[in-house]
Structure 1
Amino acid sequence: MGSAIVWSVVLRVAQAALQAAPFILAGVFIAAIFRRFLGPENTRRLFGGGGGRGLLIGWLIGMLLPVCSLGVIPVVREMRRAGLPGGTILAFALAAPLFNPLSLMYGLTLSEPFTILAFATCSLVVVTVVGAIWDWLFPQTSQPAEPLPPVRYGVRRIVSLVTAMGRDCSDASAGLMLLGLAGVGLLASVLPPNSLQGSMNHDNLLAPLMMSAIALPAYASPMMAMSQLGMMFQHGNSVGAAFVLLSLGAGMNLGLVAWMFACYGWRRGGAWLGLLLLVVLGLSYGIDRPLFPHGQEIADHTHAFDVYCRAWHSGGPELAQMTLERLRQDAQFFEVKSLQLLGFLCGVGLLLRAIGPWLDVEAWLQQPAPCDHRPGRFDVVVSPAVVGGTILLGLVAFSLVGCYAYYPPADEAFEEIYVAQGEALTAALGLNFEQAHRWIDIYDGWTRKLEVGQFLRRGTLSPYHQARAKLVRSKLELLEHEVQDGDREEVRRLVSEVSRANARLKRAFLEELP
């Protein structure tokens, strides 16, 4: 049992780190832009200062930037250095991980669109109410800005960006992010496998409270949170618990909470956390019944929360190899590359610390241009603020354009579906549950991407096409349960049904669309 717990913790923490890596990379990049290009004054101007305007702008900017609750840590630390009020900082910290263009598109297409929009509105209510009350209770929460001398244009600007990112990857920000990941390990060490499958049903009045206990130490990337919400709606889980999962699971983590207490003290930090829990739970119970889909059956089980539980049931010498194999199978190319780049930046930061006593890189970066230096005839010197603002706008535009790459057209999606279908059905026929479970998840995910890609390119997704995709997913879920039970005859029957449902899905998306 001990080895099962240890390797489950290793697996869950590593999975979370891989999922978080692209968003952390975006976070340290945004923080470096704030520090080296915008500077304290322009950062304060961007967020509109304090008060209600600052809360609203913090929420809006957070909705546009592609960060998660771990990636937001270096950004909020930079906002505090810039002298922004605590309410604005915490509003951004809570709003930024909840939605971004990729996750919002996913949620609007595959979850209940009205519910997702209601969740977005409720997040604004949480941010403004908690922020306004907290600012009223503690009006003086900003600190004097820490200005940096401007960096000379040219290669020094690029170097300054890399050094700022490297320092964030190797200083307190990295420690806080590791603490956030430790919460995932904590849950994996105490929650038995599959122990949350029937705990968040709509008819369970304690579901939002139970979810708050799980969600606060958990980590959920924006995409994972949206996927979990979709599964919760599909299985008749509590809408209130879903909102708690989004607000606290995607919006918070232990590292962010620790930073808040370290910066603002136990009294102010405790007040903010208490207000947050009070407002989130109040809203969750308020929307639970009104937003629950009429006629939705309660399935009494869901696999949405298995990622927070132990992965392995029992110990054994093969667990290390099984854990590595699971990680190898789950890791996406862009996640691995993002993690490698973060490792490189961490090395840069550690190197800067090591050579600091002998080589002052900051002094070189801030060295002014010679008095007799004149730009070339075709050189245009652009201010750092303009460059930084352009990069931030480009990052938002890139995340919007990235939707088209992440959600490919139907013909490309079906190429991936064919691969997943073959692997999933072969594993199912062999009653290989581990392989079947993995490939069924991938198969399920591509049917969802298929729907989002259709909606993205055509602006609509008919109920007919939604029904075809849901039918495939429902058959896959039944197949997974029968493989787990080892019923070979039922597995064969369901394999045939999945194949027929997939053929109808292909016909609907590739042949019956106008």
Structure 2
Amino acid sequence: MTSTMIFGFAVRFAQSLAQAAPFILTGFFVAAVFRRFIGYEKTRRLFGGSELQSLFKAWIIGMLLPVCSLGVIPVIVELRRAGIRGGTILAFAMSAPLFNPLSLLYGLTLSEPIAILSFAGCSLVIVTLVGMLWDRLFPNSELSGVPDESVHYGIRRMAALGVSSAKEATGRSLGLVLVGLTGVGLLGAFIPHASLQHHFNHDQPLAPLKMAALGIPVYATPMLAMSQMGMMFQHANSIGAAFVLLALGAGMNTGLIAWMLQEYGIKRSAVWMSILLLVVVGLGYAVDKPLFPQDVDPANHTHAFDIYGQPFAGSASFAQLATQSAKKLKRDIVPYEWYSLELLALLIVAGVVVRIADRRGRLEAWIAQVPEPSVSGRKDIIVPPSVLGGLALLGLVIFSGVGCFAYYPPAGEVFEEIGIAKGEALSAGLTGNVTHAEYWIDVYQEWTRKLEVGVFLRNGQVTDYQRWKARLVREHLEMLKHSVEDGEHDEARAWVAKVARSHNRMRSAFLESERDPQG
């Protein structure tokens, strides 16, 4: 039992760290841009204005930046230093992880568009209402703005950006990120394997409340939260619970709570959390029935939250669990996550080196020096750092938008990947290999979702016919998974044949449309 808990914690911690690594790197970069390029004074102007204006700006800026609830931590640390109002910072911290171009496209395509747009509107209600109430209860919660750190033109600007990112990656923000990952690790240690499948059905009145309890320690990237929401819509689970999942699962984590406790104390943090839970759960119940999908037969389960419990079923020795954990992490962590982990490790090492080698602050003093004047031509213009900072953030937003086309390939490329997943999944279904089948069926289903989003991105629509063909494949795959898990070999073979037929129909629906968009 103890070994199961240890490896449950380790696997879920490592999986979440890998998923979060790209967003954490982005968060360190954005924080450094605010600190060194935009500066604290202009940051205060950016988030300034009346109370309502500040909260709305925080919501808009947060949704444009591609960060998660862990990646937002170094950014809010800088906003706090800049002297931004507490309600505005917390509104930004809540809204930034909820949506980005990748996740918004995913949600609009795979869930009901009206539901996703309603959820986006509800997120604005949350940050506005909770932020206003908190600021009214605790006025003057902001710090006195610290003066800008002077950074002059030339190589010093780039050095300042790198040094700030590296130091923050080895400072307080890193500790808070690790606290945030600890929450999901503890869930993996203590929640039994596959025990959450029946807690969020549409006919359970307590489903949103249960999700609120689960959502706070959970860590979910915006993409993962959207994927889980899509599965809940597919199975007609509780829509109220799906909304709470998005607001708290993607928007909160234990690291953010730890930061709040450090900055605002127990009383103010408790008030914030109480108001937040009241508003989020209340909105969850409000949208539950109006947004319930009418064209789906409700299922009495969902696999969307299996990733938060213990990763392995049954009992095994310490050595067996170690082997299984290594295999699972090697299989589950995708290449771009490995690259992000390597970059994050390099940034941390660089931060350690800077802190050890520059204890006297000589590097910072050099960065602050005014460079020697040089002869320049008429076209040699010194661009203000705030302009560079604005362009850097704008470029990040544009890059995340362009990245959608790479993350969601065209249909032809998707079917090449689906072909691999299909072969592995159906082969495992025929042989009864449960672990192999579960993994490749999930991969197969995920590629069918990316297929729909890629078509929507390029054609502006996914026809009802295409949508139903993709959904039918996922439903057949779900039944195949259950048959394999239950050891029903004859039934599994029958579902393998059905998956093969529905796959061919899905392929025809999407590829023929790609060849003839008007057809």
TM range (shorter): over 0.9
Letter in 2 for 1:274: S
**2:471 is the counterpart of 1:485:** no
Q: How far apart are the structure 2 equivalents of 1:233 and 1:464?
A: 18
Q: Which residue number in structure 2 is paired with residue 186 of structure 1?
A: 186
| Alpha-carbon displacement from aligned partner over 1:278-332 (angstroms, at most 9, x marks no partner) | 1111111111111112253221111000011001122222211111111111111
1:350 counterpart = 2:352: yes
SS in 1 for 2:151: coil
Could you report, residue by residue, the CA deviation over 1:56-109 in whole angstroms, capped at 9, with x for unpaired residues? Answer: 010011111100000000000001111111111111000000000000000000
- Report deviation, 1:488: 1.7
Indicate if the aligned counterparts of 1:49 and 1:84 stay in contact, CA closer than 8 A. Answer: no
Amino acid at match of 2:497: S
Match of 2:502 in 1: 501
CA shift for structure 1 position 264: 1.1
Give the corresponding residue for 1:240: 240
Q: Percent identity?
A: 54
Moved more, 93-102 or 335-344: 335-344
Question: Could you say which residue in structure 1 is the equivalent of 2:174?
Answer: 174
Alpha carbon RMSD of aligned pairs, Å? 1.2
Rounded Cα–Cα distance in structure 2 between residues aligned with 1:429 and 1:119: 41
For each residue in 1:346-401, what CA deviation from the matched residue of structure 2 results, as whole angstroms up to 9, or x when unmatched?
A: 1111112112335521001111112x433356532101000000111111111111
Distance apart, 1:261 and its partner CA: 1.4
Partner of 1:17, secondary structure, is helix
Q: Paired residue for 1:117?
A: 117
- The within-5 A match list for 1:329-478 is 329-358=331-360, 360-370=362-372, 372-375=373-376, 378-478=379-479
Is the 8 Å Cα contact of residues 36 and 149 (structure 2) preserved in structure 1?
Answer: no
TM-score under structure 2 length normalisation: 0.97
Residue 152 of structure 2 aligns with which residue?
152
Matching residue's letter, 1:310? Q
Q: In the aligned structure 1, how far is the partner of 2:2 from the partner of 2:378?
A: 70
Q: Which residue of 2 aligns with 1:20?
A: 20
**d(CA) in 2 for partners of 1:42, 1:214:** 38
Map of 2:284 onto structure 1: 284
Residue 4 (1) aligns with residue 4 (2): yes
1:144-201 per-residue CA deviation (whole Å, 9 max, x = no partner) reads: 1222332121111111111111111110100000000000111112110010000001
Assess if the C-alpha contact under 8 Å between 1:478 and 1:494 holds in 2.
yes
Deviates more, 1:474-483 or 1:47-56: 47-56
Q: Which residue matches 2:324?
A: 322
**Any conservation in 2 of the 1:421–1:439 contact (CA below 8 Å)?**
yes
SS class of match (1:373): coil
> Aligned partners of 2:417, 2:62: CA distance in 1, in Å?
32
Contact in 2 for aligned 1:417/1:443 (Cα 8 Å):
yes
Is 1:107 the counterpart of 2:107 in the alignment?
Answer: yes
Query: Residues of 1 paired with 2:23 and 2:172: CA distance?
Result: 18
Question: For 2:196, what is the secondary structure of its paired residue?
Answer: coil
Aligned AA (1:159): A
Alignment-mate amino acid for residue 211 of structure 1? M
Aligned residue pairs, count: 513
8 Å Cα contact 1:2-1:315 kept in structure 2: no
- SS in structure 1 at match of 2:156: helix
- How far is 1:12 from its partner? 0.7
- Higher mean C-alpha deviation, range 314-323 or range 393-402: 314-323
Q: Once the 2 structures are TM-superposed, how far is the Cα of residue 50 of structure 1 from its aligned partner?
A: 5.1
SS at match of 1:302: coil
Provide the C-alpha distance between the structure 2 equivalents of 1:250 and 1:216, rounded to a whole number of angstroms. Answer: 9
2:266 alignment counterpart: 266
The amino acid that maps onto 1:226 is M
Q: In 2, are the aligned partners of 1:50 and 1:87 still within 8 Å (CA)?
A: no
SS of residue in 2 equivalent to 1:511: helix
Deviates more, 1:453-462 or 1:283-292: 283-292
Q: Distance in 2 between matches of 1:384 and 1:295?
A: 54
Q: Comparing 261-270 with 168-177, which one deviates more in the overlay?
A: 261-270
Q: Judging changes above 3 Å, is the alpha-carbon distance between structure 1 residues 458 and 374 closer, same or farther for their aligned structure 2 residues?
A: same
**Unaligned residue ranges in structure 1 (runs of 5+):** none
Tell me which moved more, 88-97 or 265-274.
265-274
Q: Which amino acid aligns with 2:376?
A: P
Mean CA deviation greater in 316-325 or 271-280: 316-325
What do the CA deviations read for 1:410-454 (whole angstroms, capped 9, x no partner)?
001111000111111112211111111111111100000000000
Distance 1:272 1:85 in 2: 14
Secondary structure in 1 aligned to 2:446?
helix
Which amino acid is 1:332 matched to? V
Question: Is the partner of 2:453 in helix, strand or coil?
Answer: helix
Instruction: List, as ranges, runs of 4+ consecutive aligned residues in structure 1 with deviation greater than 4 Å.
Output: none
Q: Secondary structure at the match of 1:122?
A: helix
Instruction: State the SS of the aligned residue for 1:183.
Output: helix
User: Which segment is superposed worse, 265-274 or 246-255?
Assistant: 265-274
1:214 matched to which residue of 2?
A: 214
Residue by residue over 1:241-277, the C-alpha shift from the partner in whole angstroms, topping out at 9 and shown as x without a partner, is 1111111110000000110111011121111111101
Correspondence for 1:311? 311
Q: Shift of residue 6 of structure 1?
A: 1.1
Could you say what secondary structure the match of 1:298 adopts?
Answer: coil
The DSSP-based 3-state class of the residue aligned with 1:346 is: helix
Distance of 1:240 and 1:487 partners within structure 2:
34
Write the distance in 2 (CA, Å) between the matches of 1:354 and 1:450. Answer: 49
Q: Structure 1 stretch 172-181 or stretch 43-52: which is displaced more?
A: 43-52
Contact 1:170–1:349 (CA under 8 A) maintained in structure 2:
yes
Alpha-carbon distance in 2 for matches of 1:422, 1:146: 59
Report the AA paired with residue 505 of structure 2. R
How far did 1:49 drift? 4.2
Question: Within 2, Cα distance between the matches of 1:404 and 1:477?
Answer: 28
Could you tell me whether the CA contact under 8 Å between 1:208 and 1:241 is conserved in 2? yes
Distance in 2 (CA, whole Å) between partners of 1:486 and 1:240 is: 34
Task: Tell me, in whole angstroms, the C-alpha distance in 2 between the residues paired with 1:50 and 1:218.
Answer: 33
In the alignment, is residue 66 of structure 1 matched against residue 95 of structure 2?
no
